[in-house]
């Protein structure tokens, strides 16, 4: 069973994309009375219309996640217009710490995917609170950020989205680090077929994409995160051993320890099965390390009691 904790826009979107793939039964949990049940009923009607025999239920009781082998955490306060992900640290740390205890109690053998912002700091907190092996705590961020880079690059090049292999590492935030030299189309680096002005524009649009969506419609992204969570969940449930960009606790990789940051990883039935170290230039390493420092600054903002 797949449990989604948080029936807000991201959680509901993830539930829809997952149900369309019919990977497993889905349990949608939220503390707001009747909200997950209402979502589940509406989605069930939609699945009936589409002829998809997927089972989806809603509950306000965390014990409903018992038996889940995958738990997706989307709960938390969302970004509002003009608000940075970093401003959410104190608000969401308490929520994440409480959910970690519920997961340990009811789904102790699960793989956990995090989306709560600021993502890397909250994934770090979840990892520390759970005490699970690092392979079983996955921060969702790189799939979203790289997907946005793919979107903007494909628009400029006039090719299909699937033709672009994008690389965005580091923080899920203003200090994210797109790597155009390692992002390719047909095996050719973007830096070899686009001008510096075009590259700079694509990078800027990628970094500002989340804020742009929030400014335009008054609330943050949900469809894109929902889609990304679904393909990552599919990699776990089907043991695809597929490469994604995701936030993982590093223990020496890239010369970094004790930080959760987005890098290329292989995801399969055991969660993160391998961490891939990119061949970064000295200049790229500086940019990546600056992004890592931004994550550490976010982590330092988490009140110490939430680690206890």
User: d(Cα 99, Cα 80) in Å, to the nearest integer?
Assistant: 23
Check: CB of residue 129 under 8 Å from CB of residue 260. Answer: no
Sign of the alpha-carbon dihedral angle for 105, 111, 115, 117 = positive
> What whole-number percentage of the chain has pLDDT above 70?
98
Residues designated catalytic: 172
What's this model's pTM, rounded to 2 decimal places? Answer: 0.94
Check: CB of residue 172 under 8 Å from CB of residue 146. Answer: no
pLDDT (average), residues 93-104: 96
Per-residue confidence (pLDDT) for residue 14, from 0 to 100: 98
CA 50 to chain centre: 28
User: Residue 118, preceding bond cis, omega within 30 degrees?
Assistant: yes
What b/e string do you get for 242-281 counting C-beta neighbours within 10 Å, with b at 16 or more?
A: eebbbbbbbeeebebeebbbbbbbbbbeebbeebeeeebe
Fold of 2-139: Rossmann fold (3.40.50)
User: d(Cα 134, Cα 143) in Å, to the nearest integer?
Assistant: 19
- Residues 6+ positions from 95 with CB-CB distance below 8 Å: 75, 76, 77, 116
Domain ranges of the chain: 2-139, 142-304
Fold of 142-304: L-2-Hydroxyisocaproate Dehydrogenase; Chain A, domain 2 (3.90.110)
Per-residue pLDDT tens digits for 254-286: 999 999 999 999 999 999 999 999 999 999 999
Per-residue pLDDT tens digits for 8-26: 999 999 999 999 999 999 9
Per-residue pLDDT tens digits for 234-258: 999 999 999 999 999 999 999 999 9
Per-residue confidence (pLDDT) for residue 77, from 0 to 100: 83
Per-residue confidence (pLDDT) for residue 78, from 0 to 100: 73
Per-residue pLDDT tens digits for 138-175: 999 899 999 999 999 999 999 999 999 999 999 998 99
């Amino acid at each position: 069973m797949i449990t989604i904790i948080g029936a807000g826009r991201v959680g509901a979107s993830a539930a829809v994309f997952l149900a369309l793939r019919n990977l497993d039964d889905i349990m949608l949990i939220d503390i707001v009375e009747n909200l997950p049940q209402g979502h589940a009923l509406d989605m069930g009607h939609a699945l009936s219309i589409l002829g998809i025999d997927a089972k989806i239920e809603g509950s306000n009781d965390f014990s409903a996640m018992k038996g889940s082998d995958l738990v997706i955490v989307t709960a938390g306060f969302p970004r509002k217009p003009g608000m940075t992900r970093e401003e959410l640290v104190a608000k969401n740390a308490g929520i994440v710490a409480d959910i970690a205890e519920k997961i340990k109690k009811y789904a102790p053998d699960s793989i956990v995917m995090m989306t709560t912002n600021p993502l890397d700091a909250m994934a770090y907190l979840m990892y520390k609170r759970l005490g699970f092996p690092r392979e079983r705590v996955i921060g969702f961020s790189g799939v979203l950020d790289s997907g946005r880079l793919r979107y903007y690059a494909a628009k400029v090049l006039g090719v299909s989205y699937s033709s672009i292999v994008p690389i965005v590492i580091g923080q899920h935030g203003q200090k994210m680090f797109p790597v155009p030299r390692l992002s390719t189309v047909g095996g050719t680096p973007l830096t070899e077929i686009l001008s510096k002005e075009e590259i700079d524009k694509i990078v800027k649009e990628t970094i500002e994409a989340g804020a742009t969506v929030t400014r335009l419609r008054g609330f943050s992204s949900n469809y894109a995160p929902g889609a990304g969570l679904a393909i990552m969940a599919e990699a776990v449930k089907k043991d695809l051993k597929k490469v994604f960009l995701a936030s993982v606790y590093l223990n020496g990789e890239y010369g970094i320890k004790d930080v959760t940051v987005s890098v290329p990883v292989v995801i399969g039935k055991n969660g993160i099965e391998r961490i891939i170290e990119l061949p970064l230039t000295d200049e790229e390493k500086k940019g990546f390390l600056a992004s890592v420092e931004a994550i550490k600054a976010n982590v330092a903002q988490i009140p110490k009691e939430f680690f206890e």
